Structure 1
Amino acid sequence: MLTSKILATAVDRALAEDAPWGDATVAASIPADMQFTAHLVAREPGVFAGGAVWQETFRQVDANILVTDLVADGTAFSTHDVLATVTGPAAGVLTAERVALNFTQRLSGIATLTSRFVARVAEVGAPARIADTRKTTPGLRALEKHAVVAGGGVNHRFSLSDAIMLKDNHLAALAATDDASLTDAINKVKAAVGHTTPIIVEVARVEQIDPVLAAGVTGILLDNFSLEQLRTGVELIAGRCVAEASGGVNLATVAGIAATGVDIISVGALTHGAAALDLGLDAT
């Protein structure tokens, strides 16, 4: 989903916000013919993400700026590692610096946090995959979901258009307008869409699982279940659809959740709770 158009638009908006009438400091202090070289340096360990948007930012400011030695997204690094080098007109490098760093610090923070969740699951030998949610920064979803993948996670639906996901409020609305059983209500939804459309249903109680399974859904989201309830849910689902856990997931709880046998663990904090990683652009 991270297309060249999405990249270009995100960078264009960020630059318009940061330098709407140009860079006053650069214009007053930096000779137009001055050349400059700087390194993107890690101030702390992590996992890198944002290479494409780093390049696009410098390209839009000045196409004469050259980005070299850029590490690949998903690369783990240590403190003091050089992640990229930029060389070119000093005015352009200095104008682009903050926007480029804002993007890569944010995205590397997401990739790093995701990698920590993935590592916790791996420690218990569980096959569960860590997935993001739609709890993303407006306008930056494609970038942030790309960062999740760079950190070893997987993407949940990208938008409301991608799949049917009946959550608690949808089910409450259906119950208020129709006396049909939960199974019948889901079947009516299935009949209204094409056979290729995934249908995921969120349940809040173990008792809801069998009626949902009877409708032949793509996945069941076990929301805020205890570990015991998750194990029961996985046993009831028995591979007939994807079993997903959500709610109450953090680095302290994710291993236990994974050990219950769920297929997917969705974590909103991957994108809405990740701290920006400390990266800097240092002149040589």
Structure 2
Amino acid sequence: MYDRFLVLPLIDRWLAEDIGHGDLTVELMIDPRAVATFRMNAREPLTVSGIAIAATVFTRYDSACAVDLLVNDGDRVEAAATLAVVSGPARSLLTAERTALNIVQRLSGIATETARYVAAIAHTPARLLDTRKTTPGLRMLEKHAASCGGALNHRLGLDSGIMLKDNHIAVCGGIAAAVRRARAHAPALTRIEVECDRLDQVKEALDAGADVIMLDNMSLPDMAAAVRTCAGRAKLEASGGIRLDTIAAVAETGVDYISTSRPFQSAPAVDIGLDAAG
């Protein structure tokens, strides 16, 4: 989910970055009276994300542009599917084309890669979580893309929850002391998560009353042991070194959540093109 009001300044910056002082090519080559219609087509199978943002790029640049969206974010489409039809002044469409395609290709790439991870654990109750390892300035949109692919959003920012990591714990003097301090000052409905990389820490976090325990880079046997120790008293999140070829085995240990940044950091932009309507 994203706020359209917050997206508009982003679009303005993207357009300013790409256009500079003006689109030299269209101003020299395209008649200012020319109109055109283009189809935004998927050139490979993909999960859609950012299609409405791409549409807004065109209309933000020129209100005379019109966009007919044929799909919604979260839709799975095959190659050759038409995602949208854009029409209006040819100069404006050609100038805004690259910016619109860049964002929908990037976000749909994240959504498509996320969907692959979600599918790999669909046979288990575990749910996929995203992370805060996003592109600076694009977190809101990249997390939206992850949700389009079927993931749940972890913290949107540092103000979204309390995560006690190893350095926080060290400064506070141990897990029990850190949880106690957090519990005393946290807003009433805020959950407290504790990062653990050993089974003895899991027991300590559980006894301290942690709501969620992150199993950081633990082995599969240790994860399974943590699940037995916890016995439903807190939610368990597996994290660290999660890959597409390892995530199913992690899910099968019985953890509640698995977090990974890979769809953000390694997803390629999908191939989407703007083709002249026949």
Residue 184 of structure 2 corresponds to residue 186 of structure 1:
no
Residues 1:258 and 2:278 aligned together: no
Asked whether 1:161 is paired with 2:159, we answer yes
CA–CA distance in structure 1, aligned partners of residues 47 and 159 of structure 2: 30
Q: Find the counterpart in structure 2 of residue 228 from structure 1.
A: 221
Evaluate the alpha carbon distance shift between residue 215 and residue 195 of structure 1 in structure 2; reply closer, same or farther with a 3 A threshold.
farther
Give distance in 1, aligned partners of 2:73 and 2:5: 19
| Residues 1:248 and 2:241 aligned together | yes
What aligned pairs does 1:102-117 form with structure 2 within 5 A after superposition? 102-117=102-117
**Cα deviation, residue 216, structure 1:** 1.3
Provide the C-alpha distance between the structure 1 equivalents of 2:38 and 2:86, rounded to a whole number of angstroms. Answer: 5
CA distance in 1, matches of 2:180, 2:69: 54
Report whether the alignment pairs 1:92 with 2:98.
no
Deviations 1:183-238 (A, max 9, x none): 13310221122222221110011110111112212200001011111101111111
**Alignment match, 2:3:** 3
Q: TM-score, normalised by structure 2?
A: 0.97
Partner of 1:178: none
1:40 paired residue number:
40
Backbone CA RMSD of aligned residues = 1.1
Q: 8 Å contact 1:7–1:56 — kept in the other structure?
A: no
Q: Tell me, yes or no, if the aligned pair for 1:204 and 1:223 is still in contact at 8 Å.
A: yes
Question: Contact conserved, 1:38 with 1:87, CA < 8 A, in 2?
Answer: yes
Q: Check if 1:211 corresponds to 2:209.
A: no
Q: Amino acid of the residue matched to residue 251 of structure 1?
A: L
1:100 deviates by 0.4
Which residue pairs with 2:146 in the alignment?
148
Amino acid at match of 1:247: G
Shift in Å at residue 20 of structure 1?
A: 2.3
Q: Runs of at least 4 residues of structure 1 off by over 3 A? A: none
* Helix, strand or coil at the partner of 2:14: helix
1:275 is matched with which residue?
268
Give aligned-pair identity as a percent.
Answer: 46
The Cα of 1:113 is off from its aligned counterpart by 0.4
Q: Is the 8 A contact 1:38 1:283 kept in 2?
A: yes
* Segment of structure 1 superposing worse, 5-14 or 110-119: 5-14
Which amino acid is the alignment partner of residue 164 of structure 2?
A: L
Structure 1: which 5+ residue stretches go unaligned? 176-180
Q: Offset of 1:32 from its aligned partner?
A: 1.3
Q: Among 164, 170, 174, which residue is 1:172 paired with?
A: 170
Secondary structure in 2 aligned to 1:214?
A: helix
Distance 1:157 1:117 in 2: 19
Cα deviations by residue, 1:14-50 (Å, 9 ceiling, x for unpaired): 0111112121111111111111111111111111110
Give the distance between the partners of 2:31 and 2:234, measured in 1 at CA: 63
What CA distance in whole angstroms lies between the structure 2 residues aligned with 1:170 and 1:69? 47
SS in 2 for 1:31: coil
Displacement of 1:241: 1.5
Cα distance, 1:282 vs structure 2: 0.7
Task: Work out whether residues 67 and 84 of structure 2, in 8 Å CA contact, stay in contact via their aligned partners in 1.
Answer: yes
Q: Deviations over 1:104-162 (max 9, x none)?
A: 0000000000100011101xx20111111000011111110011111111100100011
- The 2-side partners of 1:58 and 1:186 are apart by 49
- CA–CA distance in structure 1, aligned partners of residues 111 and 187 of structure 2: 35
Amino acid at match of 1:238: A
Amino acid at match of 1:133: T
Q: Which runs of 5+ in 2 are unaligned?
A: none
